Amino acid sequence: MLNRFKTLNVLPRWIIVLIDLTIFSLAALVGYMLRLNFQIDELYEFDFLRGIAIYTIAGLISSLLTRSFAGIIRYTGIQDTLRVLYANLITLAIVFAINSLSENSLPYSVALIAFLVSLVFSISYRLLVKELFAFYRTVPKSQRKVLIMGAGRSGMITKQMIDNDTKSNVKVVGFLEDNPRKIGNVISGVRIYSAKDEFEKVVLKHSPTELILAATKLSLEKKNELVDKCLEFGIKVTSVPSADQWIGGEFDINQIKEVKIEDLLGRNTIILKNKFISKELNDKCILITGAAGSIGSEIVRQVVRYSPSKIVLLDQSETGLFEIENEIRSIKKMGDELVPFVCDVTNRGRLKECFSTYRPNLIFHAAAYKHVPMMETNVPEAIACNILGTRNVADLSVEFEVEKFVMISTDKAVNPTSVMGATKRAAEVYVQSLNDFLVSIDSESTKFITTRFGNVLGSNGSVIPIFKKQIQAGGPITVTHPEITRYFMTIPEACGLVLEAGTMGDGGEIFVFDMGKSVKIVDLAKRMIQLSGLVEGKDIDIVFTGLRPGEKLYEELLDNEESNMATHHPKIMIAQTRKIDFTEVKESVDQMESAVRSGEMIDKDIEIVKILKSMLLEYKSKASKFEALD
């Protein structure tokens, strides 16, 4: 029997037509029998054979008109059911028309009964065949049992997708819910359990192998709690994307993806609401430096929503610029409003050409070297890009009367222990002191604003992609120190802060974000191993390699001499930093530029860092050759 179902492909259409005609004939006969209370002797008085023939021929005509035979029965859906309904209605209409023209045809009462009987049987046999195919295709396989977290709309759609997918061989054995009004009820034959109190009970009862997160309003804490429970029982965790990410507005079972470590880190996303963002960006020329990078490209994605008159994408990476330009053009029709401009911020001449041509109103300065160990051994480039490049963009902003300059900084600029962190702090000091200088001379020129945040999830060179590659390679996972911690936030959230700062800043501020709790990197590594279905120490090892040059154990958001001031948003603060005279800052930057440009200096790195340390008294090197200078 099973082999017949496997070899059977699609029923020929003539067979489906024959089955439908048989149903029409039997329906007419049943109509007569019910009309005559099963008095068979009276059938011949009504010339029932003629009536059955009329009803069957009318059914054939309606089937050809509606093509009710065209659907593949095993995939019967709403459209197929509607075609069957239309065919039966047309059949009834034809019979009524014949009755109006001939007295010796099918009685109206018999036609109505036949219509109801044929409709029920035509639909029922199609659904029966569909269920038989579904049953026989899954019988030989052992079913994979899953739980669904969330018995709302998303959860119900997920179950329907699973039930309709005959290839997946998955069975939903229960829903989990926090809503007490839903707990204990049954939906589509599946019971709803308490996620808090009945998790272990349902796991022991059904032995599920997977939990699908389909709850739309699941807090980060609850999600982490569920994942921890699932990892304890060896249950795989997957999730359904939010409705706005469904392909073409429809959900497909292939969109269910494994939960990633990025989904569990940090905190509940802080939503930045500022009704003035659109006013600030709409119909303005926006220049974004470092537009091909992780932060810069996301700023581009967010800025484009506000319909600026022009967006200038500036970066030295031609490949990166090509990719972000194509991405933006694929989601929004743009012509000359989107300008890719290949330029290194250290090249003042080329940079000035950009300012002169496009006259930007707002600048988001994301161009920078950010890799701590790399910059520790490439000091001149760190100075040239992070300090001199920032100076170039800032000075040209004043020259070309840019309205606002928003600089993207880092928490590594706080009490810096690395060249990278120190260069970013020096860049902060330059734009702040320049802003103060302009205010002191009553210049209504550019407003300089700085934002600080920690590590962003998914950025180029961040720890998570590195760990993923190490896990895929079979390990080991390398962690620098067992006690090292970091703050994490999402890239869209970080860039939301940048846009917020651009609108709320009046110049001279350093905006600091409340980033929640810091995360131990070794705990992060252990969780990633568990999410990959591996066992630490058995399948893969964690190896401690020691702190790298310039690396901190703990990141900070404020230095020892800074305090913070609240803003209108409870999660955004303004750092109160010490002021440094612009003349002193400019002199130090000029000295560093001379040292960087010099081709004959012995121990150039040492001499440059000496100048940097004299400018930033809080800069104390760690695990670096520059510790001797402290």
Amino acid identity of 172? V
Position 275 confidence tier, pLDDT thresholds 50, 70, 90: low
- Give me the percent of the chain exceeding a pLDDT of 90: 28
For the segment 134-154, the average pLDDT, to the nearest whole number, is: 72
- Higher pLDDT pick, 253 / 423: 423
pLDDT of residue 300: 94
Amino acid at 35: R
Q: Does position 5 have pLDDT exceeding 50, yes or no?
A: no
pLDDT of residue 113: 84
Cα(125)–Cα(80) distance, rounded to whole angstroms? 12
Q: Which residues contact 567 (CB under 8 A, 6 or more apart)?
A: 504, 511, 573, 574
Counting every residue, how long is the chain? 630
Residue 247 pLDDT exceeds 50: no
Q: Phi/psi class of residue 474: alpha, beta or left (left: φ > 0; alpha: ψ in -120 to 50)?
A: left
- H-helix segments, 68-140: 78-101, 108-138
Question: Mean pLDDT across the stretch 416-433?
Answer: 94
Amino acid, single-letter form, for residue 226: L
Residue 141 structure tokens: 């396989």
How far apart are alpha carbons 471 and 493 in whole angstroms? 27
Whether 586 shows a pLDDT value over 50: the answer reads: yes
First to last CA, the chain: 85
pLDDT of residue 592: 93
pLDDT band at 6 (very low <50, low <70, confident <90, very high): very low
Is it the case that residue 466 has pLDDT exceeding 50?
Answer: yes
The tokens for 361 are: 């109103």
Average pLDDT over residues 568-572: 64
- Averaged over 493-513, what is the pLDDT? 82
Cβ neighbours, 10 Å, residue 584: 12
How much is the pLDDT for 262? Answer: 65
Would you place residue 512 in the very low, low, confident or very high pLDDT band (cuts 50, 70, 90)?
Answer: confident
| Cis? peptide before 373, omega within 30° of 0 | no
Whether the pLDDT of residue 379 is over 80: the answer is: yes
8 A C-beta contact, residue 595 and residue 615: no
* Packed helices 48-66 and 108-138: angle between N→C axes, nearest 10 degrees: 50
Rounded to an integer, what distance in angstroms lies between the CA atom of residue 8 and that of residue 74?
11
**Of 377, 623, 369, nearest in space to 480 by CA:** 623
Bridge-based pairing state of the strands 563-566 and 572-576: antiparallel
Residue type at 119 in one-letter notation = L
The average pLDDT across 202-230 equals: 84
Mean pLDDT computed over 61-71: 75
H helix or E strand, kind and range, residue 349: helix 348-358
* Least confident among 107-116, 173-182, 268-277, 482-491: 268-277
Q: Which residues pair with 289 in a beta bridge?
A: 314, 365
pLDDT-derived band at 229 (thresholds 50, 70, 90) equals confident
Domains of the chain: 2-138 (no CATH), 144-259 (3.40.50.720), 282-454+490-515+558-615 (3.40.50.720)
Average of per-residue pLDDT across 579-597: 92
Q: How far apart are CA 175 and CA 190, in angstroms?
A: 7
- Rounded Cα gap, residues 95 and 62, in angstroms: 11
Asked whether the predicted pLDDT for residue 377 surpasses 70, the reply is yes
Q: What is the mean pLDDT of the chain?
A: 82
Predicted pLDDT at 228? 84
Q: So which residues are the catalytic ones?
A: 412
Among 116-120, 175-179, 243-247, name the one with the lowest average pLDDT: 243-247
Q: Lay out the sheet containing 338-342: strands in order across.
A: 338-342, 310-315, 285-289, 362-365, 404-408, 447-452, 510-513, 572-576, 563-566
DSSP class per residue in 213-265:
E--TT--HHHHHHHHHHHHHHT-EEEEPPPGGGSGGG---GGG-EEPPGGGTS
Q: For 507-528, what is the mean pLDDT?
A: 81
| Overall average pLDDT of the 343-358 stretch | 96
Please give the pLDDT value at position 438. 92
pLDDT at 142: 56
pLDDT (0 to 100) of residue 4: 42
Predicted confidence band at 2 (pLDDT cuts at 50, 70, 90)? very low
Q: Kindly tell me the burial class for residue 4, based on how many C-beta atoms sit within 10 Å of its own C-beta (0-12, 13-18, 19 or more).
A: exposed
Give how far Cα 578 sits from Cα of 172, 316, 396, 585, 614, Å. 61, 34, 25, 13, 15
Question: For residue range 309-336, what is the model confidence (pLDDT) as tens digits?
Answer: 999 999 999 999 999 999 999 888 888 8
Residue holding tokens 């699609």? 10
* Beta-carbon count within 10 A of 127 CB: 13
pLDDT band, residue 46 (cuts 50/70/90): low
Contact partners, residue 53, CB within 8 Å, separation at least 6: none
Q: If you average pLDDT over each of 346-355, 438-447, 539-548, which comes out highest?
A: 346-355
Per-residue pLDDT band for 588 (boundaries 50, 70, 90) equals very high
